[in-house]
Structure 1
Amino acid sequence: MAKKQQPRRNETSSTGDDAGYHVPVLLAESMEALNIRPDGIYVDCTFGGGGHSSVILQHLGPKGRLVAFDQDEDARQNLPDDDRLLFVPHNFRYLQRFLRLNGITEVDGILADLGVSSHQFDEADRGFSTRFDAALDMRMDRRQELTALDIISTYTELQLHKLFEQYGEVTNAKTLARTIVQRRTNVPMKTIEGFKQAIRDIVKGNPHKYFAQVFQALRMEVNDETGALKDMLQQSPKLLRPGGRVAIISFHSIEDRLVKNFFRRGSFEEPEENPFANNEPEPEFNIITRKPVTAGDEELKRNPRSRSAKLRVAEKR
């Protein structure tokens, strides 16, 4: 038997105990987008503080089910005592594998809130934030081996150039990559402060913004964030029932573009400008959001992190 449901709370506020761990963005909008059925099966790919999950559970009846993924072991502390919830402590790129291991072949909705949780930024020893001095780590899943220090220490100049350019949109990505390679054997870069000091003389513009872009690029590479997103999106059409919805909240232009292209064409590439080409496959989704949904003024005041959030939603045909 499912636990007795609590009275439904205001869906635009933080729910449960997530406020100190992570404030969910576009909460009301994503819940509306999922069009939740009380007896449906739903997936929260990024459980985090449990903010989105707690509201999904409020919508579900006794027969509904929620599968929550999170590769960060810290997320376990936020699990509610609810036997309708199945927690999977792995990356959502393995979505289909773990659903099938638990006897689930189809679901009614998939939600993913990409990026980093407030908790991960606020935990100094995780190495995500430029505000603290700690080891250059940045692993969301601390079981994996690759860290930000490994990237700084071993990547070639070309590899570093490309990742800073693509993932961080760093203005002088080439100079940054060359500087790291030239100095890493003689200048200590094992910590956040050491790394920042090693490259401080080539910083362009606002230092806070510059380092934020550099750290974003390293984090995305450490955790293969775009690769995991692609893997999950490719599995979603096979897992969703007809009429089921997938809702993705992204914070980076690369991620938003991947989601948009996949929803529209089932691929991640931009279409070729060929007016005579007519060989695109029939799309598997109906687009629910022609333009991405963004945060309103009230949410922007309450949670500045929502400023760059974009929600896209599609429905399985």
Structure 2
Amino acid sequence: MFQHITVLLKESVDALDVKPDGVYVDCTLGGAGHSSLIAERLGPKGTLIGLDQDNRALEAAKLKLSQTSCNVILHKANFQHVKEVVTSLGYNQVDGVLFDLGVSSPQLDEGERGFSYHEDAPLDMRMDQDQELTAYEIVNQYPEEEISRILFQYGEEKFSRRIAHHIVQKRMIAPIDSTIELAEIIKGAIPAATRRKGPHPARRSFQGIRIAVNNELGVFEDALKQVVPLLRTGGRVAVISFHSLEDRICKHFFQEQAIGCICPKHFPVCVCNHQPSFTILTRKPIVPTDREIEANARARSAKLRVAEKI
């Protein structure tokens, strides 16, 4: 059973301003929570396109969306290929695009997927089970400097060098095979005083390795660029992020797309004729209510940003 508690459900779908006969793309289908509400607001002439690279998510979404009145198209793909997929289906432009980033609850809760530092499992962390690169290769084969960079850049882990060194020292004795083994190595590399406060000591490192395995930031940035020509005038893009790296990418991208004139400041008149592509609808991100966080602790870091195509 693929069960996932959808975060910022009403806020994100409200932000899309769903038109009954519109075309909407859920780039991160997951448990189809957002897609179900979008589908409810679409009429028989409306279309919902759902993308996911997890076979189980697609199967669960197909069942959940089977009774909807709108046209539903589910496609196995990384959202890095969103424009290619949408145009191949015969749609040159769409009315809305939704990204719900991060790892779904089933992926975290299923120990064998290797995302969790609480469950003993093989070092996997692949969102797409058909891809070759796993966390095992990164942990056991990457140079110490590269592991340190991944932990620091993607996990924002200040003890990245110490952790990378401990990992390399341990793997020289024997390969590091499991999530619990890796979590213990990370824990041992972090000073005791730091371990006693804050979240689990392996949280940041696991985040960094997971992002590297799935190239999450590069894929997201590439997908955002594809959304600009894909949206029709008045169409909206909504992004739910769960950590500062994703949110920063989204914030800066929206700001870049909202810029008009790019002439040097000393020019008396505009000669570039550069026009903005987006209007930012959320100057500050929308965050979950205390009530939602109380019901779902994983919602606590979520941020929603929305922009409209001009």
Q: What TM-score results when the alignment is normalised by the length of structure 1?
A: 0.88
State the partner residue of 2:245.
254
Task: For residue 196 of structure 1, report the CA deviation from its aligned partner.
Answer: 2.6
Distance 1:281 1:223 in 2: 35
CA contact (8 A) 1:187 1:198 kept: no
Q: Quick one: which of 17, 23, 40 aligns to 1:58? A: 40
State the partner residue of 2:292.
299
What pairs up with 1:155-170 in 2 under 5 angstroms?
Answer: 155-170=142-157
Task: For residue 193 of structure 1, report the CA deviation from its aligned partner.
Answer: 2.0
Task: For residue 94 of structure 1, report the CA deviation from its aligned partner.
Answer: 0.1
Task: For residue 157 of structure 1, report the CA deviation from its aligned partner.
Answer: 1.6
Distance 1:209 1:170 in 2: 12
Q: Quick one: which of 116, 129, 143 aligns to 1:129? A: 116
In structure 2, stretches of 5+ residues that fail to align are 259-263
Task: For residue 304 of structure 1, report the CA deviation from its aligned partner.
Answer: 1.1
Distance 1:110 1:25 in 2: 16
State the partner residue of 1:224.
215
Task: For residue 213 of structure 1, report the CA deviation from its aligned partner.
Answer: 1.0
Distance 1:228 1:64 in 2: 28
In structure 1, stretches of 5+ residues that fail to align are 1-16, 268-273
- How many residue pairs end up in the alignment? 293
State the partner residue of 2:236.
245
> What is the SS of the residue equivalent to 1:177?
helix
Q: 1:187 to 1:198 in 2, by over 3 A?
A: farther
Give the letter for the 1:214 counterpart. S
Give the letter for the 1:260 counterpart. K
Distance 1:276 1:165 in 2: 40
Query: Does structure 1 residue 106 correspond to structure 2 residue 88?
Result: no
Distance 2:186 2:14 in 1: 45
> What is the SS of the residue equivalent to 1:241?
strand
Distance 1:228 1:128 in 2: 19
Distance 2:152 2:241 in 1: 19
> What is the SS of the residue equivalent to 2:200?
helix
Distance 1:243 1:62 in 2: 21
Task: For residue 276 of structure 1, report the CA deviation from its aligned partner.
Answer: 5.8
> What is the SS of the residue equivalent to 2:234?
strand
* Runs of 4+ more than 4 Å apart: 274-281
Distance 1:254 1:247 in 2: 17
Query: Does structure 1 residue 44 correspond to structure 2 residue 26?
Result: yes
**Higher mean C-alpha displacement, 75-84 vs 224-233:** 75-84
For residues 124-182 of structure 1, the C-alpha deviation after alignment (integer angstroms, 9 at most, x for no partner) is 10000111111000000000000001101121122111111111111211111122223
Distance 1:119 1:191 in 2: 19
- Kindly report the root-mean-square deviation, in angstroms, between the aligned alpha carbons of the 2 structures: 2.0
Give the letter for the 1:233 counterpart. L
State the partner residue of 2:82.
95
State the partner residue of 1:6.
none
State the partner residue of 2:255.
264
CA contact (8 A) 2:150 2:208 kept: yes
State the partner residue of 2:16.
34
For residues 212-247 of structure 1, the C-alpha deviation after alignment (integer angstroms, 9 at most, x for no partner) is 111111111100000110111000111000000000
Identity between Structure 1 and Structure 2 (%): 44
Distance 2:57 2:256 in 1: 34
